């Protein structure tokens, strides 16, 4: 694996690409956000939470008897400390959540992930370390895990629970109490290696993941068995590598899309700020990696688009064609996640954010695209079709009638017929990622539920939502409302009881 050489390649990036002085504009960001929040309560979804949480939800409707288990969620919960505010949504400290469903009732628990960074900065009463979009540098650090916020996903795997982040190790969490166990090292020579927040777990329990160093042009690849053992690990070289947040796996391939950014050589900027949009001169690249050899099979060209999230991928014709679903954004959408920290709403441009089906013909190099749904983000599929042909895609969207970009609609899209089964929440609601949960013995991709969380900014409360996956348009089967607001999460997974 040559771990030392991999990390050395990123040494000039100071582990994540960050160095320099603490940013005085963190005070300005703080003032602007709170001024905006005073006039628009919808910004509360980007506000701090005061501490750990625990409570029971009041259920409206009826929770399905067959839905038993825990919906684990993760996202940033602390954006401000000592009168300063992070300048980027991705920077906040991780807040792990468990929505526990059983016997028709729902309870909630949330705890900050006690990373090294969180504990050091809590003791100091101020931010100390650089983050993805905010360039604090008040204290030196040893490696990637000194900066680890563990704030992006919560993954149950191999009877354990992991809080995941882009640039460092998985952080193990106690699934019963959400207490932080500590950094998890998959193998001694993989210590402190980047381990993405979007691993893919195949139906047989095999986990695939990657770790990227933007600007260093290297991507680490991992295959981990269902028992937690490392089965394969390797490194590929990807020229002009920029942010890689997610990927897809098919039966034979790993699929990456590299957006067209250059990485500026300016140590006074954060890594987010060092991403300079190059879409006027080149497009995005699809990098296809063979799973058996961990070598690049072929690189394809797409128009200049930004991508965060994938749905799923599958092969046909003996691996000669690979199809995958993802959401493509027009232009430099990376910057939008910074503006929300100042209380700026993005204008709604549904056509600029589209769920797409991409088909790659490996012999000829031909690329085909089909538009599935506009205004989209956060695509997910049923867990039992990961890497296999799928017919349904759960995705959020912003209704075309919205003046600003607000994810307020849940959808299950029939990707073959191009139809969306949808439900729109009312004004003041902000909807988080929803996941498809199969019934025991499910016979189809709609034989189960669509489960997620929505923020009701009208009442400053958070709600667990449950839909029949075959009849989303009929509205929620149940809403489980807490008496308080939880942090707006990024990603999570349902673990059946």
pLDDT in tens, 269-299: 899 999 999 999 999 999 999 999 999 999 9
The pLDDT value recorded for residue 3 is 61
Lowest mean pLDDT across 13-17, 82-86, 213-217, 321-325 = 13-17
pLDDT exceeding 70 applies to what percent of the chain?
A: 95
Band of residue 23 on the pLDDT scale cut at 50, 70, 90: low
Q: How far apart are the first and last CA of the chain?
A: 37
Please state, in angstroms and rounded to a whole number, the distance separating the CA atoms of residues 476 and 474: 7
pLDDT at position 8 over 80: no
Q: Which domain holds residue 432?
A: 3-496
Q: What domain count does the chain have?
A: 1
pLDDT at position 266 over 90: no
The pLDDT value recorded for residue 30 is 96
The pLDDT value recorded for residue 142 is 85
CA distances from 162 to 219, 257, 366, 486, 488 (A): 21, 25, 39, 20, 19
- For residue 428, which phi and psi values (nearest 5 degrees)? 90, 0
pLDDT at position 424 over 60: yes
Over range 157-161, report the average pLDDT.
97
The pLDDT value recorded for residue 485 is 97
**Strand 392-397 to 376-380 pairing:** antiparallel
The pLDDT value recorded for residue 11 is 40
The pLDDT value recorded for residue 237 is 96
Please state, in angstroms and rounded to a whole number, the distance separating the CA atoms of residues 275 and 213: 13
- DSSP category for residue 45: G
pLDDT at position 454 over 60: yes
The pLDDT value recorded for residue 24 is 60
Whether 409 contacts 422, CB under 8 Å: yes
Whether 453 contacts 73, CB under 8 Å: yes
CATH code of the domain containing 63: 2.130.10.10
Over range 396-411, report the average pLDDT.
96
pLDDT at position 179 over 70: yes
pLDDT at position 14 over 50: no
Over range 118-137, report the average pLDDT.
95
């Amino acid at each position: 694996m040559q771990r030392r050489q991999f990390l050395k390649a990123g040494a000039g990036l100071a582990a994540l690409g960050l160095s320099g002085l603490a940013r005085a504009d963190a005070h300005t960001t703080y003032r602007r956000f709170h001024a905006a929040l005073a006039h628009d309560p919808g910004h509360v979804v980007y506000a701090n939470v005061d501490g750990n949480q625990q409570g029971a939800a009041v259920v409206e409707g009826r929770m399905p008897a067959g839905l038993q288990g825990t919906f684990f969620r993760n996202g940033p919960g602390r954006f401000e400390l000592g009168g300063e505010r992070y300048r980027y949504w991705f920077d906040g400290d991780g807040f792990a959540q468990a929505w526990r469903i059983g016997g028709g009732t729902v309870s909630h628990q949330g705890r900050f992930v006690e990373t090294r960074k969180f504990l050091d900065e809590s003791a100091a009463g101020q931010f100390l370390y650089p983050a993805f979009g905010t360039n604090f540098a008040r204290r030196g650090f040893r490696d990637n895990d000194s900066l680890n916020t563990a704030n992006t996903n919560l993954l149950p795997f191999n009877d354990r629970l992991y809080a995941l982040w882009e640039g460092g190790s998985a952080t193990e969490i106690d699934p019963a109490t959400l207490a932080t166990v500590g950094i998890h090292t998959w193998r001694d020579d993989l210590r402190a290696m980047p381990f993405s927040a979007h691993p893919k777990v195949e139906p047989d329990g095999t986990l695939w993941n990657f770790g990227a160093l933007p600007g260093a042009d290297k991507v680490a690849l991992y295959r981990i068995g269902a028992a937690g053992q490392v089965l394969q690990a390797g490194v590929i070289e990807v020229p002009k590598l920029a942010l890689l947040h997610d990927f897809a796996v098919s039966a034979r391939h790993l699929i990456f899309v590299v957006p067209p950014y250059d990485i500026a050589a300016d140590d006074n900027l954060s890594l987010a700020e060092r991403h300079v949009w190059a879409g006027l001169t080149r497009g995005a690249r699809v990098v296809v990696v063979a799973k058996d050899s961990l070598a690049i099979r072929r690189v394809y060209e797409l128009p200049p688009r930004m991508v965060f999230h994938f749905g799923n991928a599958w092969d046909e014709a003996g691996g000669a064609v690979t199809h995958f679903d993802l959401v493509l954004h027009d232009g430099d959408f990376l910057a939008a996640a910074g503006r929300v920290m100042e209380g700026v709403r993005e204008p709604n441009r549904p056509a600029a954010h589209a769920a797409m089906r991409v088909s790659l013909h490996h012999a000829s190099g031909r690329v085909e695209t089909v538009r599935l749904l506009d205004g989209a983000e956060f695509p997910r599929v049923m867990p039992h079709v990961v890497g296999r042909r799928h017919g349904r895609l759960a995705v959020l969207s912003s209704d075309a009638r919205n003046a600003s970009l607000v994810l307020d609609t849940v959808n299950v899209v029939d990707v073959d017929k191009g139809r969306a089964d949808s439900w729109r929440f009312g004004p003041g609601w902000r909807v988080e990622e929803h996941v498809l949960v199969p019934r025991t013995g499910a016979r189809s991709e709609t034989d189960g539920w669509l489960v997620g969380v929505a923020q009701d900014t009208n009442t400053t409360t958070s709600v667990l939502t449950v839909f029949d996956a075959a009849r989303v348009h009929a509205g929620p089967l149940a809403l489980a409302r807490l008496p308080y607001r939880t942090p707006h999460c990024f990603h999570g997974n349902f673990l059946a009881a």
